[in-house]
Structure 1
Amino acid sequence: MLEQYLGFIDTEQWWWEWSISLLIFLGFLLFRKFFTQRTFKLILRYTQTHRIEMIHSVLRSFEQPLNAFFVILGIYFALNFLSVTDPYAVTLHKGFKSVVFALIAWGFYNLSGTSSVLLNKIGEKLHFELDQILIPFLSKVLRVLVIALAAVVILDQWNYQVGGFIAGLGLGGLAISLAARDTLSNIFGGIVIITEKPFSLGDWIETPSVEGIVEDISFRSTRIRTFAQGLVTVPNSTLANEPITNWTRMGRRRITFHLGVMYNTPREKLKRCVDRIRDMLENHPEISKETLFVHFDRFNDSSLDIFLYFFTKTTVWGEWLQIKEEINFKIMEILEEEGVSIAFPSRSIYFENPLKTSVNLPEGPGQNRGEHGKS
């Protein structure tokens, strides 16, 4: 009865074999605890202290798979010590190899994360600087490849026809591609964005449909945080076909406007105002000298317009606003010192003939009473 219940275990040595198997498993657990708490931590501390970033990143990625490997290894040796018959031994061996491949794939999955230095090191070896927006995309591609390769290897261990499986995936992929053309167009749009690199993560961009800070790009879409703190998800196909203005990459920031003064301003005062404003901008430490224009531009409907066109050295919005405010106050000071007033929209109406006006005074109470008396 016991032999039928255990099946593949020799009942004569049952107690002995199971005791030894249990000791083997506990021995691997103790070794795992000692290795992870002592040896592995010492290696991590050494690589971190000596700034061996690549080895440190690999060890961190394989830390959890390695802990699980000791448990699986203990189970495998413990079961392998038992008197296992051939069919079960083959299954046990295949299962062990499959789990080992899965643990290796787990480690490489962690290693290909966005926080890993693997991609940066590959870029350094190939003398290619990886953009910040390219790293998350490549990370996702590598993780998909790791999972696919692990699945193929594990299926091959169990004698599945991998070639037919891959061919089936090709036919299925063709059918899916016909049914999901929008998704594929978004994927290719993402590839175009990554290869041309019109922006990077953290850049301030503006398109006809959205304006904000780029937070993430995936296979299908790009996420942009607006200045109202809303999160907008834009399909990559839409973004790739729109004009994109990258304000983060501007070398200087422009300030331009028309300053209108009143029509009764004398020519000498107007010329002095233009010259003093131009000198003030040319001597300002935060204004670029490369492109700077201050000129009397036009006779407007209600004002004489002075045209100002210049750039600040900083592109930071807050600093730009402070410089703009400072310049506006200095322009007001110049106008006040010259006795020139800023014009405002107005319209004068002239009549060819003088207008005759008559004022109808309201009748008093006494007049009303007198008229009643006459009647």
Structure 2
Amino acid sequence: MPITSLANLSTLKKILFIFLISSFIAIQQTPSMALETKSCPAPNPLCPPDTSSPRATLNSFLANVTIAIDGWRKKSNSPRTYQAFRRAVDTLDFSTTPKDSTTVVQIERIIMLKEILDRISLPPDDKIPDAAEVRATYLTTWTIPDTKIKIVRIANGPRRGEFLFSPETVQNLKQYYKRIKQEPYKTNSTAGIYNEIINGKHTAYSFERQARFRLRPVDTSSPRSTLEGFLDSVNRAFAIITKVNQSHSTMTKAKILEAQQAADDLFERAIDTLDLHDVPVAHREDVGIESVLLLKEIIDRLPLPQIDFVPDAAMVTAQLASQKEIHGKSYQYHWRFPNTEIEIVEIKEGERQGQFLFSAETVRRLRHFYQQIKDHPYRPDYLTAASPEEYIPPEKTEGFYNHYISTPGVLVPQAHLLSTLINNFPDSLKKAYGKHPLWQWLALAFSIAFILLTTYMAFRFIWVPAKSQKRPLRDWLRLLLPLVIISATYIGVYFLTKEANLTGDLLVTVVTGGKVLLILVSAWAAFSFCNAAAETITTSPLMAKEGFNATILKLTSRVLGAVAAGVIIVKGGQRLGLDMLPLLAGFGVGGLAVALAAKHTFANIIGCLTLLFNKPIKVGDLCRYNGKQCTVEHIGLISTRIRSSERTIITVPNADLAQMALENLQLRDKRLFNTVIQLRDETTPEQMRWILIKLRELLLGHPKVTPNPARVRFIGYGDFSKDIEIFAYLNCQDQNTFLAIQEDIFLRIEDIISESGSSTAFPSQTIYTSRDNEVNLEQCQHIESEVQKWRSKGQLPFPDFSEERREELLDKLEYPPKGSQSEKPLSGPSNPLKNKPKK
């Protein structure tokens, strides 16, 4: 409400308004009302710690962490222990601490703070500000005397007004603890609790830490966390290996294997601080381990920088904000190890974008850096105490790299039987030649000989005998050869890299050569497998060996095999770090050249696909090729083989065959019967009518003649004859049946012509030297009288039979004819109108 409107209000309203304004101002100028709250009884699980003042926060932390430590030491999982731990955590501000929500980080920070407080002198309670002093002095920050540990009031958020250990304090507790951990404990302290919690095997910290190591998370949020994480991981791995070396004779095999797993997990965390994106995937594990050891050997020979000057997350954020204003978003943050070219840089793209890792350039040049400094002595221990404000880890991994390259390829050699054998080698075998001991060169020669001998034996006793076997057994036996080569190569490479522990350029050469061989032979095996599988299916009794399905299956298997082989080669090349794009582009250009040179071959392949998918013909079909009947015997990828009626083989290119007008005789559902009967000119019209009627009755009555269409027509006069055309379809497909039916019809036609008293005409001139036989007058008169009867009764079937007469005549004749040697009718569909019900 505007101040000018106060004059219009009553006196009471003015007083209330002024009271509200004053209260609002007082709230803004004084600490939160949370300062007045008192801690509720500890057994209440919902009870928050008392954080109303620095004194309350410090005392609440000490009281609750002591209860939690007591429960941990008693291995108590009671709610009281957990609630005390949560209340101790609630006195710390984790807002800038990486992975602040994990139990590991929370336990680690409160135990480190407790260890620090157990070693420093704390002022008396009356010297620590309480709630009353906070209200009186508007206190917002209190620092424990002679330390950097601060308790500050939260200005914003849901915990506004509470006093918590500051975010900077919580984030730097690890450094503070490392600086003071050599100091003695005070009286009544929880001495040794940090080692109990960190190294214990049955605590929540150890359980989550083991899971975290398996998942390989690593803090790379800043150069400081990356450097510390790297040094800590390698130092701890070296400590484990040193312990095993000193006491392996008293350790069980299970304990040694457990130590090996722990060392491997730590090394994986150290490898995660390196940018290995330039290293081929196939080499990353071996190159990563060697790079970690080389980098640690270099750092162990240099004075470490003051840890406070190594940028943490807050320093990185501030510097990035200022630099991006100048350089834009393309600015890449980097920190260089003092007086070296070793850099930790911000990753700008990819899966690890935003993380800080030792740069790819640093990893690439590590061997060069090591060669320059390997003769320099390790960092002397007295530098550790150069300044109480400077943290320099006393741990050094002296000789770690030489130990690794001279033993079997594991971090804990005692976990493998080969280490005992190597330790018993004479000194002559351990002498180095070209950076590697003699026994490693012998191991390399033995592995190569093993691969070659195994390949020769497989070729001699599997590949060669397979030639005498039939398919598909021959194809499966031949598939064994690439499988044997793959197995032998894998065993040889594994032995050289994991057991013989080759390193450096020799390691890269062996791994690359072995991987190339594995890729090529795997591509061969993939193609052979597809071919053998197709041959197995096509030889099944359920599939015609040379049929369409078999042909398309074989073609498909070859295409799939070629695609699988290509994918294996491309993916394998990528894992080896090869840029496959130029190779693929080269294949494209080369493929174009090959396609132009072999265009006829590709045309035949496309013709094969056309034949296979359009199916104008298939194996076994009777076709007409160049006017001759032929049988299709094989449809191949390039050409098709057909057998002529003379039993010769004709090979036709698929490209030509696909463009031809093929006549597939096998697909006929009926056969055409079409002939012209030439009667003598002396045939009378009545005879012609009788013959036409009887021929039509013949077609309708024959069970192998389709009634529609079935035509018998007087079509005209020839030079020497009267012509009758017969046009009908016979219910049959194959040639032999057709000829048999046609023969039967011709014989019946002969009978009809003979019965009519006429005869067929001859296309020739006849010179009569004797009196010609006259036409049989009696038969002519009989036929003419019969036709006259049909005419008088109105039954003359011209131009066609009536429907009733057609139904009476259907299938009346016997076929095969009576007296035939055939016991049953020839194959072929019967007349579809035979069983038609009469109207």
TM range (shorter): 0.5 to 0.7
The one-letter amino acid of 2:714's match is: F
TM-score (norm 1): 0.64
The farther-off stretch of 200-209 and 84-93 is: 84-93
Match status 1:105 vs 2:523: no
Aligned equivalent of 1:310, options 728, 732, 743: 728
Q: Secondary structure at the match of 1:260?
A: strand
Which one of 544, 558, 562 corresponds to residue 147 of structure 1? 562
Query: Displacement of 1:222 after TM fit?
Result: 2.6
Three-state SS of the structure 1 residue aligned to 2:582 is helix
- Rg larger for: 2
Give RMSD over aligned pairs: 4.3
Write the distance in 1 (CA, Å) between the matches of 2:519 and 2:592. Answer: 33
Aligned to 2:590: 172
Q: CA deviation at 1:256?
A: 0.6
Residues matched between the structures, number: 301
Q: Would the aligned equivalents of 2:623 and 2:632 in 1 still touch at CA under 8 Å?
A: yes
Partner of 1:36: none
Q: CA deviation at 1:161?
A: 4.7
Report how far residue 321 of structure 1 moved.
0.8
Matched, 1:212 2:627: no
Partners in 1 of 2:591 and 2:515 — Cα distance?
34
For normalisation by structure 2, the TM-score amounts to 0.31
* Map of 2:640 onto structure 1: 222
- Deviation string 1:233-288 (CA, Å, 9 cap, x unpaired) is 22333333332222111110011110111111222222222222221221112222
Task: Give the C-alpha shift of residue 111 in structure 1.
Answer: 2.1
Query: How far off its partner does 1:142 sit?
Result: 3.5
Contact kept in structure 2, 1:152 and 1:162, CA below 8 Å? no
What runs of 5+ residues in structure 1 fail to find an aligned partner? 30-57, 122-130, 350-375
Could you tell me the percent identity over the aligned residues?
26
Matched, 1:265 2:683: yes
Letter in 1 for 2:709: T
1:244 equivalent in structure 2: 662
Moved more, 81-90 or 252-261: 81-90
Contact 2:531–2:554 under 8 Å retained in 1: no
SS at match of 1:288: strand
Whether the 8 Å contact between 2:489 and 2:518 is mirrored in structure 1 is: no
> 1:234 aligns to what?
652
| Residue identity matched to 2:592 | L
Measure how far apart 1:215 and its partner are. 2.5
Native 8 Å contact 1:221 1:236 kept in 2: yes
Shift of 1:337: 2.5
Amino acid of the residue matched to residue 735 of structure 2? W
The alpha-carbon deviation at position 314 of structure 1 amounts to: 0.7
Kindly tell me: are residues 71 and 190 of structure 1, through their superposed partners in 2, closer, same or farther at Cα, counting changes over 3 Å?
closer
Query: Contact 1:220 / 1:235 at 8 angstroms: preserved in 2?
Result: yes
Matched, 1:276 2:685: no
Given the alignment of the two structures, is residue 136 of structure 1 paired with residue 551 of structure 2, yes or no?
yes
For 2:705, what is the secondary structure of its paired residue?
coil
In the alignment, what sits opposite 1:298? Answer: 716
Change (3 A) 1:245 1:93: closer
Mapped contact 2:605–2:637 kept (Cα < 8 A):
yes
Instruction: Supply the distance in 2 between the matched residues of 1:249 and 1:64 (Cα, whole angstroms).
Output: 41
When structure 1 is superposed on structure 2, of 157-166 and 254-263 the one drifting more is 157-166
- Residues 137 and 219 of structure 1 are in contact (CA less than 8 Å); yes or no, is this contact kept in structure 2? no
- 2: CA distance between counterparts of 1:328 and 1:8? 101
Residue identity matched to 1:109: N
Counterpart amino acid of residue 293 in structure 1: R
- C-alpha change, 1:8 and 1:347, in structure 2 (3 Å) is farther
Mapped partners of 2:759, 2:699: distance in 1: 20
Partner secondary structure for residue 706 of structure 2: coil
Q: 2: CA distance between counterparts of 1:317 and 1:348?
A: 37
Q: Give, in whole Å, the separation in 1 of the partners of 2:596 and 2:642.
A: 29
The corresponding residue for 2:746 is 328
Provide the secondary structure at the position in 2 that maps to 1:301.
coil
1:292-350 CA-to-partner distances (Å, cap 9, x unmatched) read 1112221111111111111111111111111111111121122222232211112369x
Residues 1:177 and 1:76: Cα distance change in structure 2 (over 3 Å): closer
Give CA deviations for 1:14-40 in whole Å, capped at 9, x if unaligned.
9xx99xx9xxx9xxx9xxxxxxxxxxx
CA distances 1:80-134 after superposition (whole Å, capped 9, x unpaired): 558544537624465456544533432122223484499x99xxxxxxxxx9536
Matched, 1:190 2:608: yes
Aligned counterparts, 1:14-25, within 5 A: none
Cα distance, 1:285–1:323 mapped onto 2, change above 3 Å: same
Distance 1:8 1:249, change over 3 A: farther
1:164-204 CA distance string (max 9 Å, x none): 33222221222233334434443443344344332222222
The aligned counterpart of 1:32 is none
Would the alpha carbon gap of residues 254 and 189 (structure 1) be closer, same or farther in structure 2, given more than 3 Å must change? same
Q: Is the 8 A contact 2:680 2:760 kept in 1?
A: yes
SS state at 1:302 partner: coil
Q: Deviations over 1:53-84 (max 9, x none)?
A: xxxxx999867646974785477548855854
Higher relative contact order (CA 8 A, sep 6+): 1
Q: In structure 1, the residue corresponding to 2:646 is in which secondary structure? A: coil
Instruction: Describe the shift of the 1:114–1:329 C-alpha distance in structure 2 as closer, same or farther (beyond 3 A).
Output: farther
Change (3 A) 1:175 1:66: closer
